[in-house]
Amino acid sequence: MIREVFMPALSSTMTEGKIVSWVKSAGDKVEKGETVVVVESDKADMDVESFYEGYLAIIIVPAGEVAPVGAAIALVAETEAEIATAQQQGAAAPSAAAAPAPSPAPVSAATSSAGLQQNVSRQNGRSVVSPRARKLAKEFKVDLNSIKGSGPNGRIVAEDVEAAAGKAQPAPVQQAVTVPAAPAPAAPAPAAAKPAPAPVPAVALSGQRVPMNALQNAVVRNMEASLSVPSFRVGYTITTDNLDKLYKQIKSKGVTMTGMLAKAVAVTLQKHPLLNACYVESGIQYRADINVAVAVAMDGGGLITPVLQNADRLDIYSLSRTWKDLVDRARTKQLKPDEYSTGTFTLSNLGMFGVDKFDAILPPNQGSILAIGSSRPQVVANEEGLMGVKRQMQVNITCDHRIIYGADAAAFLQDLAKLIETNPQSLTL
């Protein structure tokens, strides 16, 4: 029996995927549940496992190329005798790139129907391994279970396998970045000790047309959908002296300012559930949980919004540790779908760039997003007319006007400011 391996839908918005690398080669034996290919979805690189046992007879879509969801990317033969037949069948198959892209299907249904199981992260009792490390482990006959990874979050990278095999080699020299005519395959995540490649000088891109990667295309789709929503914006000035003082006291315990702001927003949302809700057809969907998403810029373009789930229930120390872990795995494209797609309220912070204030675009399926500027010393007059210096930051909230009105947004900002200005110590309780 010859079975098709389809491009799975790894998220509800995915319409096509790019093959990052094939872990198996044509002719290799494939076990049920074994990883055969790494696919780049719109937000993450995901290992895709075979649902069948047999032989990978032919690869239809090679590494670096894109295929629509549901298109055949390889054929698996049940026996060695069927490999030749499968190769003839695969050679006669139409190009996956030419096949029409079907409508996105729910992750579970699409994955099951394609005969594949996808696994985003191998951290639950299993190792996180880069594709190149897997290939080297097979070549050198190294047991991956015996290796401790040196990459982000313990990920096993190529250098770990080479060291375990006694074949340590100098790190390959990163080639100068050039503008490709078509999307190039993504490279495995580098070891944490390696410096990031230098950005391409703007002059090198002058006059060039650069194709977007999958993440950037996902941002395009989301922004086009967002701009169809009637929205409005409300600004507020918040004094941060007490928050800054608290941050200096607990920073050494691993607390981040992002964690503190996310916690403050989450606690305030408990009093304002409407700001945590979203519009559904002719109704308002109130959320059972407060999941604060925070925008993070990605190397190479695009952004992703890792989600601090149940942020109102986590203590500030656990929240900050969780945030650091999410960012580390976001940088290596190892987030699970529910770690970037379940936000109920979003924060976008450009304060670290010295931005005074800005407006954020409302994300799909959310009712609000808060834009945060930098905290700066300002000369301020008190009620008695006396002048003094206080640190203040500008925040602007963007809301879906179909369900949220100006007074609702203003009341939320007022309570958020009160918490940050007068009682930030409550965030540590």
Active-site annotation, residues: 401
**Helix/strand/coil (H/E/C) assignment for every residue in 180-200:** CCCCCCCCCCCCCCCCCCCCC
- Which amino acid belongs to residue 37? V
The answer to whether 41 and 10 are in contact (CB under 8 A) is yes
DSSP conformation letters of 263-295: HHHHHHHHH-GGGG-EEETTEEE--SS--EEE-
Task: Report residue 386 as tokens.
Answer: 């006396």
User: Which secondary structure element, helix H or strand E, spans residue 107, and what is its range?
Assistant: helix 107-113
Could you tell me which residues come within 8 angstroms of residue 304 by beta carbon, excluding any fewer than 6 positions away?
Answer: 43, 215, 295, 296, 298, 330, 335, 340
Length of the chain as a residue count:
429
Non-local (6+) Cβ contacts of 346 within 8 A are: 292, 293, 294, 295, 305, 360, 363, 366, 368, 369, 370
CA angle at residue 222 from 277 to 275, to 5 degrees?
15
Closest CA to 260 of 347, 350, 366, 362: 347
CB 290 within 8 A of CB 311: yes
3-state DSSP assignment of residue 306: coil
| Cα angle, residue 157 at apex, residues 154 and 162 outer, rounded to 5° | 125
Determine which helix (DSSP H) or strand (DSSP E) holds 346, and give its type and residue range. Answer: strand 345-349
What H or E segment, with its residue span, contains residue 66? strand 66-68
Cα 78 from Cα 427, distance rounded (Å): 58
Place of tokens 């496992």: 49
User: Cα 158 from chain centroid?
Assistant: 23
Q: Which amino acid is at 161?
A: V
The stretches of 205-285 forming alpha helices (DSSP H) are 214-226, 241-250, 257-271
